[in-house]
């Protein structure tokens, strides 16, 4: 019996332990036994948490001591990318190990996830693991392949949120979402999970998604901090028409009421009713604290009535402060999970992963939101605390992508990586190896247009030094960047003299990746 047929048939935990001891025949030929015990997985993913706001990656803005503990005791991926910088698509890539066009979930607005397709939690469950997911799901259909799930509808609510239970009931419960998702996850691990089985627990936070409603306990934080203005805050988007067309500028598109809580009886906004739907979820005591905090800021703002650059920078500082407060609660709650695992002696046989569904703009190019293949939103934080037997420590600089997580978890569990998975297992990197034939380019494809924030459809390829992007649909526009000389991606080199050879090389990499991944929407290369 091959391992493939064993897990297709559904293995017991004992069989799984035996298989862990077998030489792996996964995509990585150098696989070796990691541990005699089956290994657990705790996968923590936030929404819209970007590396600029995580001190393991960037010390300019805030401290995230608990997230940094993961990196300090384990590894930090310094070239970690998504395949499609948007929530639902990222979740589908992560679960399936396949690009958006292959797993079928290309866009939050138009896609419905076929939850019956193979996912890594399903494979692990079939192999004897207990699997659970708590928090944001955002894939339209209900989860499959989990022993336990409890998800929030759509984007979820920060305050007194609704949860969809496995029974199908939707129930509003009392509390602040980041604590609650953590409480529910730890409760499952502590009281529901069968300790005789290995487990995979997915904790998907709603934080730090728009509109950044902090826990009232954290409201006062960061108010004395003036965050540095990013170098590209006043970007004019020269040579980048798709960037210019995007509707995600802090000055023009960040909503004073909905995003920044600056309502006034005379103010109007298409997001005003949404704002009140969210803040009205607080109980009267929570709401009183919230209003007591923001009212003096509103009074000052409307008295001064800033305009132009002063307004842009005022909005930026408020955005940064509210976002940072929401990160604080997240960081505390990740700390609770790490403490639990430590106290229960689980760290030696558990892989702990922290990632986000994508990066985010914290004022770079004048923006908030994500979607673009530019660095801030193509990147996602990725740190891991490793079980015994995995020797890597410190920075891992190879280019990795969220389609790689599924094959990594399969290999960690001793399972073969099915041939149709498009990502590659990160296990060699976690063992401390640096394979000479590691990928030299990643592929990206963003599909959601026309839609909110007006980011045009594009695909592209990125190597360690260059990035080539093609915007299509109602535009036909190419961009080429030298990330070494222009890390901020301000100088579009496409079509400029002197770049013919590198353009040709990047085009051939794009062609190869579009063929390899069989993307049906691809550049029509001239017949050679």
Contact positions vs Ca ion (CB under 5 A): 47-48, 87, 357
Q: Does 333 bind ligand SGN (CB under 6 A)?
A: no
Residue 369 interacts, among ligand SGN, Ca ion, none and using kind-specific CB cut-offs from 5 to 8 Å, with ligand SGN
What the block records as the tokens of 439 is 């990928």
Compute CA distances 70 → 203, 377, 433, 459, whole Å: 15, 22, 20, 32
Least Å distance between CB 209 and Ca ion?
6
- For residues 96-120, b (16+ Cβ closer than 10 Å) or e, as one string? bbbbbbbbebbbbeebebebebbbb
Q: Which CB, 87 or 514, lies closer to Ca ion?
A: 87
For residue 145, what is the DSSP state?
S
Residue 251: partners with Cβ closer than 8 Å, 6 or more residues away: 311, 312, 315, 366
* Residues 105 and 113: beta-carbon distance below 8 Å: yes
Compute CA distances 192 → 73, 131, 132, 385, 467, whole Å: 28, 11, 10, 24, 47
| Ramachandran assignment for 178, one of left (phi > 0), alpha (psi -120 to 50 degrees), beta (any other) | alpha
Q: Please, where are the H alpha helices in 98-170?
A: 100-103, 120-126
Compute CA distances 488 → 118, 226, 400, 492, whole Å: 38, 22, 21, 11
Could you say which residues in the range 229-288 bind ligand SGN, by CB under 6 A? Answer: 271
CA distance 357 to 230: 23
Q: Which CB, 48 or 215, lies closer to Ca ion?
A: 48
Find the part of the chain contacting ligand SGN (CB under 6 A) among 208-216, 261-269, 415-423, 476-484.
208-216
Least Å distance between CB 116 and ligand SGN?
23
Q: Which CB, 147 or 357, lies closer to ligand SGN?
A: 357
Q: Which CB, 271 or 502, lies closer to ligand SGN?
A: 271
Q: Which CB, 193 or 447, lies closer to Ca ion?
A: 447
Q: Which CB, 35 or 155, lies closer to Ca ion?
A: 155
Out of 28, 52, 108, 349, name the contact with ligand SGN by CB under 6 A.
Answer: 108
Out of 47, 68, 215, 332, name the contact with ligand SGN by CB under 6 A.
Answer: 47
Residue 204 interacts, among Ca ion, ligand SGN, none and using kind-specific CB cut-offs from 5 to 8 Å, with none
Q: Does 87 bind ligand SGN (CB under 6 A)?
A: yes
Number of residues located near ligand SGN, criterion CB under 6 A: 14
Least Å distance between CB 316 and ligand SGN?
17
Least Å distance between CB 65 and ligand SGN?
25
Residue 108 interacts, among Ca ion, ligand SGN, none and using kind-specific CB cut-offs from 5 to 8 Å, with ligand SGN
Find the part of the chain contacting ligand SGN (CB under 6 A) among 203-211, 289-297, 433-441, 493-501.
203-211
CA distance 365 to 196: 51
CA distance 83 to 507: 18
Nearest in space to 470 (alpha carbons), one of 441, 451, 443: 443
Out of 91, 125, 205, 209, name the contact with ligand SGN by CB under 6 A.
Answer: 209
CA distance 321 to 262: 14
DSSP SS3 for 244: helix
Q: Which CB, 125 or 138, lies closer to Ca ion?
A: 138
Nearest in space to 195 (alpha carbons), one of 388, 351, 384, 40: 40
CA distance 95 to 123: 11
State the sign of the Cα–Cα–Cα–Cα dihedral 509, 512, 518, 523: positive
Least Å distance between CB 45 and ligand SGN?
11
Q: How many CA atoms does the CB half-sphere of 240 hold within 13 Å?
A: 24
Q: Which residue number is nearest to ligand SGN in terms of Cβ?
A: 87
Q: Which CB, 6 or 44, lies closer to Ca ion?
A: 44
Q: Which CB, 110 or 508, lies closer to ligand SGN?
A: 110
Q: Is the peptide bond before 228 cis (omega within 30 degrees of 0)?
A: no
CA distance 68 to 75: 10
Q: Does 452 bind ligand SGN (CB under 6 A)?
A: yes
Could you say which residues in the range 6-45 bind ligand SGN, by CB under 6 A? Answer: none
Out of 210, 445, 470, 522, name the contact with ligand SGN by CB under 6 A.
Answer: 210
Q: x/- contact string, 152-191, with ligand SGN (CB under 6 A)? A: ---x------------------------------------
Find the part of the chain contacting ligand SGN (CB under 6 A) among 6-14, 209-217, 374-382, 489-497.
209-217
Q: Does 48 bind ligand SGN (CB under 6 A)?
A: yes
**At 217, phi and psi to the nearest 5?**
-65, -20
Q: Does 369 bind ligand SGN (CB under 6 A)?
A: yes
Residue 235 interacts, among ligand SGN, Ca ion, none and using kind-specific CB cut-offs from 5 to 8 Å, with none
Least Å distance between CB 330 and ligand SGN?
15
Tokens 């924030």 locate to 453
Compute CA distances 109 → 88, 89, 154, 426, 526, whole Å: 9, 10, 11, 31, 33
Question: Which burial class, exposed, middle or buried, applies to 498 when counting CB atoms under 10 A from its CB (0-12, 13-18, 19+)?
Answer: exposed
Residue 107 interacts, among ligand SGN, Ca ion, none and using kind-specific CB cut-offs from 5 to 8 Å, with none
Out of 45, 86, 181, 510, name the contact with ligand SGN by CB under 6 A.
Answer: 86
Q: Which CB, 211 or 232, lies closer to ligand SGN?
A: 211
Residue 492 interacts, among Ca ion, ligand SGN, none and using kind-specific CB cut-offs from 5 to 8 Å, with none
CA distance 430 to 408: 9
Q: Does 453 bind ligand SGN (CB under 6 A)?
A: yes
Q: Give the interface with ligand SGN as residue ranges (CB under 6 A).
A: 47-48, 86-87, 108, 155, 209-211, 271, 357, 369, 452-453
């Amino acid at each position: 019996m091959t391992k493939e047929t064993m897990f297709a048939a559904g293995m017991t935990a004992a069989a799984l332990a035996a298989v862990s001891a077998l030489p792996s025949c996964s995509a990585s030929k150098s696989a070796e036994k990691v541990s005699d015990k089956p290994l657990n997985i705790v996968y923590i993913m936030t929404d819209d948490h970007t590396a600029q706001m995580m001190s393991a990656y960037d010390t300019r803005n805030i401290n995230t001591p608990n997230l940094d503990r993961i990196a300090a005791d384990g590894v930090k991926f310094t070239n970690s990318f998504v395949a499609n910088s948007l929530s639902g698509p990222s979740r589908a890539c992560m679960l399936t190990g396949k690009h958006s066009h292959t797993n079928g979930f290309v866009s939050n607005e138009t896609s419905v996830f076929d939850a019956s397709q193979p996912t890594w939690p399903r494979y692990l469950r079939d192999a004897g693991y207990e699997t659970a997911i708590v928090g944001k799901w955002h894939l339209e259909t209900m989860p499959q392949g989990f022993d336990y799930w409890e998800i929030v509808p759509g984007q979820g609510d920060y305050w007194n949120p609704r949860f969809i239970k496995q029974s199908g009931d939707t129930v509003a419960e009392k509390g602040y979402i980041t604590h609650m998702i953590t409480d529910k996850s730890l409760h499952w691990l502590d009281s529901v999970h069968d300790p005789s089985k290995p487990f995979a627990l997915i904790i998907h936070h709603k934080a730090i998604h728009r509109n950044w409603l902090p826990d009232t306990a954290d409201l006062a934080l960061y108010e004395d901090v003036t965050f540095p203005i990013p170098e590209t805050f006043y970007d004019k988007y020269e040579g980048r028409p798709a960037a210019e067309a995007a509707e995600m500028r802090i000055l023009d598109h960040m909503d004073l009421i909905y995003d920044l809580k600056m309502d006034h009886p005379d103010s109007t906004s298409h997001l005003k009713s949404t704002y009140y739907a969210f803040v009205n979820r607080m109980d009267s005591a929570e709401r009183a604290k919230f209003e007591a905090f923001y009212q003096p800021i509103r009074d000052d703002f409307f008295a001064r009535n800033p305009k132009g650059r002063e307004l842009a920078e005022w909005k930026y500082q408020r955005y940064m402060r509210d976002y940072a407060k929401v990160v604080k609660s997240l960081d505390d709650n990740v700390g609770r999970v790490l403490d639990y695992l430590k106290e229960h002696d689980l760290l030696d046989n558990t892989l702990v992963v922290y990632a986000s569904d994508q990066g985010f703009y914290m004022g770079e190019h004048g923006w908030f939101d994500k979607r673009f293949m530019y660095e801030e939103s193509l990147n996602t934080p990725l740190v891991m605390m490793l079980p015994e037997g995995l020797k890597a420590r410190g920075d891992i600089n190879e280019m990795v992508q969220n389609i790689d997580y599924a094959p990594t978890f399969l290999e960690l569990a001793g399972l073969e990586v099915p041939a149709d998975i498009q990502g590659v297992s990160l296990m060699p990197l976690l063992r401390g190896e640096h394979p000479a034939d590691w990928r030299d380019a990643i592929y990206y494809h963003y599909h959601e247009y026309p839609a909110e924030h007006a980011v045009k459809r594009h695909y592209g390829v990125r190597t360690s030094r260059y990035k080539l992007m093609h915007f299509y649909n109602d535009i036909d526009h190419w961009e080429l960047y030298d990330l070494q000389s222009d890390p901020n991606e301000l100088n579009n080199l496409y079509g400029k003299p002197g770049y013919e050879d590198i353009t040709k090389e990047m085009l051939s990499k794009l062609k190869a990746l579009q063929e390899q991944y069989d993307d049906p929407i691809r550049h029509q290369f001239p017949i050679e």
